[in-house]
Amino acid sequence: MKKSKFRDFILHLVIMCFAAMTLMPFSFALNNSFRSNAELYRSFFGFPREMRQAAHAGWAMIRGSDLQFAVEDWDNEGEESVVSASTAFHQHVRNFTRGYRLAWDVLRDYMINTLIVVSVTASGVVLMGSITAYILSRYRFPGSRFFYYMIISTMMFPAVLTLVPSFMLVRELGLLNTYWAMLFPYIAGGQVFAMFIFKGFFDGLPEELFESARIDGAGHVQLYLNIVVPLSKPIISVVLIMNVFATWNNFLWPFVVNTEGEYHVIASGLYVMATSHFAQNFSTLFAAYMVSSIPLLILFTYATKPFIQGVTSGAFKA
């Protein structure tokens, strides 16, 4: 027994080393999002100064001491003033969150665009994929095999082959600089994989269910809404989440089709921001990276299970 405890201790140690190295860049980014460039250049490591001073002032505020504090105003080119504890506390907090405020001003529009694109894409993909899979999985009709192979074989074409012609197509259709330039290709591409996953699941549903419903006079719509959807809730959430992650991370396509830069999503917006006049403003950039991670962090927290299920079933192939 003692031996296995020692072994576990060593294992913990090694795994923690790996975990620490994996998380290191992100923790440094988080730390430095609260520090000014001057602080960063003075020393790369180190706790955010304004945060520490905010803690001091905050503690003085709680004790009700009437000490005076000297604070800089970062929004006002570091102008220094001597103020009471509570004013100092609020000023310090404003200082170390300055990066976040600036980042959010830029990211807000991108965030809205992303939420629109991601939610419409995900619902479109699930809807298209599931009705196609329902038809192809439950019925045989002339051409059903053909349609199945026609859909499946698109998985063979890599994104690199279709990038340039897709751009030309979207341009010909006059969709550049619209949401549709992202929505249509995303849904068309995403439904293939969704169909593949759904079909595998629907094939396993007992035919008797459908048969009895059909005898009761149910049509396609009733069958789909009353049998398929309620039974496939878990698989729907898997497909939804996989799709949200894929869409969220797609950088190149939004970057290419938004020639005027109005409809950038988070991914392309971050790149645009990093190459703009913010390029040397590290606290703002790092704050932007952190802000851009929050929505997926929330999603991930609430949907860890379907996510893990999706990954382990090999659902991340596409």
Partner 1 sequence: MMSTKAEGTFFTPRFKFNLSCYFILLIPISMLTLFIYVPVMWAFSGSMFEFEIGGDSQFVGFANYYEFLFLDPTTYPSLLNMLFITFFMVCVRLSFPLVVAKLVFSLTKEKYRYVYRIIFLIPIVVPGVAVQLIWSGMIYNDRGLLNELLRLFDFSEVGFLLAMGFTEEFLRSISPSEWTMGWLSDPRTALIAVVFVGFPFVGGFEVLIYYAGLTGIPESVNEAAEMEGCTGLKKFFLIDIPMVMSQLKLILILSIIGGVQGFENLFILTRGGPGFETTVPGLWMYFNAFSFQRMGYACAIGVCLFVIIFTLTFLNFRYFKSTEELETQK
Of residues 71 through 110, those in contact with partner 1 by CB under 8 A are: none
Nearer to partner 1, 65 or 153 (CB): 153
Q: Note whether 292 binds partner 1 by CB under 8 A.
A: yes
Exposed/middle/buried for residue 54 (C-beta within 10 Å: 0-12, 13-18, 19+): buried
**Cβ closer to partner 1: 91 or 292?**
292
Q: Which is nearer to partner 1, 82 or 150 (CB)?
A: 150
- Which single residue is written with the structure tokens 């009700």? 64
User: Which one, 88 or 111, has the nearer CB to partner 1?
Assistant: 111
Report how many helices (DSSP H) and strands (DSSP E) the chain contains, helices first: 16, 2
Whichever of 11 and 70 has its CB closer to partner 1, that residue is 11
Beta-carbon contacts of 189 under 8 Å, excluding residues fewer than 6 positions away, are 154
Structure tokens at 86: 């509570």
CB 29 within 8 A of CB 42: no
* Rounded Cα gap, residues 106 and 40, in angstroms: 22
Among 62, 70, 82, 163, binds partner 1 (CB under 8 A): 163
Q: What is the per-residue binding string for partner 1 in 27-66, x denoting contact by CB under 8 A?
A: -xx--x-------xx-xxx---------------------
Q: Could you say whether residue 220 binds partner 1 (CB under 8 A)?
A: yes
CB neighbours of residue 256 within 10 Å: 16
Least gap, CB of 63 to partner 1 (angstroms): 37
The binder of partner 1 chosen from 51, 84, 167, 177 (CB under 8 A): 167
Among 89, 196, 202, 248, binds partner 1 (CB under 8 A): 248
DSSP notation for 6-69: HHHHHHHHHHHHHHHHHHHHHHHHHHHTTS-HHHHHH-SSS--HHHHHHHHHHHHHHHT---EE
CB of residue 302 to partner 1, shortest distance in Å: 12
Stretch 174-203: interaction string toward partner 1, x if CB under 8 A: ----------xx-xxx-xx--x--------
Number of residues that bind partner 1 (CB under 8 A): 95
Q: Which of 73, 116, 293, 303 binds partner 1 (CB under 8 A)?
A: 293
Calculate the dihedral angle through the C-alpha atoms of 278, 280, 283, 289, rounding to the nearest 10 degrees: 60
